[in-house]
């Protein structure tokens, strides 16, 4: 199994698990909470068939990566991504982030600029700023995030059960666009994540990425569902598309948070058209 060492915690190395398949122009896929790189299974074969080199990795604390008790902030997440990029010697590569993964992209540009990056794609992503403040009235109340963190601390397994209902909008889409088995498989992956990471990542969802996005100067695609209950379109995707000069916004009708699964055909079509152009 391939790993890249990105940090240390006391005597232990912090290693990220990654997969690197295919050839051609590299595309780095960055997963969302609380899953891992394997959650891109609806996109990976399509991208490989189209001739791209596809790289996925597990964020620290998730999947097969190390599960430290430190480093759960976007400066460190972006640094982890940068170290992976350097380790693989990538250039002329595209970054595709789902949900939390969009934060890595924004902060990557904020910290390292666009050198070597060809394109950026934000799917159901948390930027630019989810927290409701005086200058961001469309955001989400702090109490909501506090409640989520409290629920994770109390019983993260029960929290994940409720979380995935809104992740997939199961009340409307179960048996139609997502199966009970898929929801259960996602729960299993979430349950294997670090308890520390499951808790510590919640406050990062409302990090302010507005300044980071001003440094995104490559062609950018934003894909978002208009029925997203986790990261509302009006508070995120619509604003990101306005903040990034020349960005294209694709709104998936009736799409929940995890449109990469429930509406994979629409997402893959928009993604391929953009990456090939």
Write down the catalytic residue from 80, 206, 228, 263. 228
| Residue 189 · residue 85 · CB < 8 Å | no
CA distance linking residue 115 with residue 91, whole number of Å: 8
Active-site residue 99, yes or no? yes
CA distance linking residue 209 with residue 16, whole number of Å: 24
- Token pair of 273 as six digits: 């058209």
CA distance linking residue 103 with residue 208, whole number of Å: 9
Measured at the alpha carbon of residue 47, what is the angle toward residues 42 and 50, in degrees to the nearest 5? 135
Distances (CA, A) of 75 to 60, 81, 110, 260: 13, 10, 9, 26
| Residue 215 · residue 110 · CB < 8 Å | yes
Write down the catalytic residue from 31, 206, 224, 257. 257
| Residue 194 · residue 33 · CB < 8 Å | no
- Token pair of 235 as six digits: 């508070």
According to DSSP, residue 58 is labeled P
Catalytically active residues are 99, 228, 257
């Amino acid at each position: 199994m391939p790993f890249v060492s990105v940090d240390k915690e006391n005597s232990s190395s912090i290693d990220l698990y990654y997969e690197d398949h295919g050839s051609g122009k590299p595309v780095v896929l960055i997963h969302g909470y609380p899953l891992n790189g394997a959650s891109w299974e609806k996109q990976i074969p399509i991208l490989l068939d189209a001739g791209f080199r596809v790289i996925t990795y597990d964020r620290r604390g998730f999947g097969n990566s190390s599960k430290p008790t430190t480093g759960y902030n976007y400066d460190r997440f972006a640094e982890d991504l940068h170290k992976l990029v350097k380790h693989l010697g990538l250039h002329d590569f595209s970054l595709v982030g789902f949900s939390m993964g969009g934060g890595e992209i924004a902060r990557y540009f904020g910290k390292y600029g666009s050198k070597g990056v060809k394109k950026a794609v934000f799917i159901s992503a948390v930027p630019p700023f989810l927290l409701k403040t005086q200058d961001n009235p469309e955001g989400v109340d702090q109490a909501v995030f506090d409640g989520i963190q409290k629920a994770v601390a109390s019983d993260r397994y029960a929290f994940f059960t409720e979380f995935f209902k809104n992740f997939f909008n199961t009340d409307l889409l179960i048996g139609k666009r997502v199966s009970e088995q898929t929801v259960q498989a996602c729960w299993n992956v979430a349950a294997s994540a670090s308890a520390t990471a499951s808790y510590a990542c919640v406050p990062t969802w409302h990090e302010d990425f507005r300044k980071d996005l001003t440094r995104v100067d490559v062609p950018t695609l934003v894909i978002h569902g208009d029925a997203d209950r986790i990261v509302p379109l009006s508070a995120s995707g619509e604003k990101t598309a306005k903040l990034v000069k020349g960005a294209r916004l694709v709104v998936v009708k009736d799409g929940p948070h995890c449109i990469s699964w429930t509406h994979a055909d629409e997402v893959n079509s928009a993604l391929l058209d953009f990456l090939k152009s």
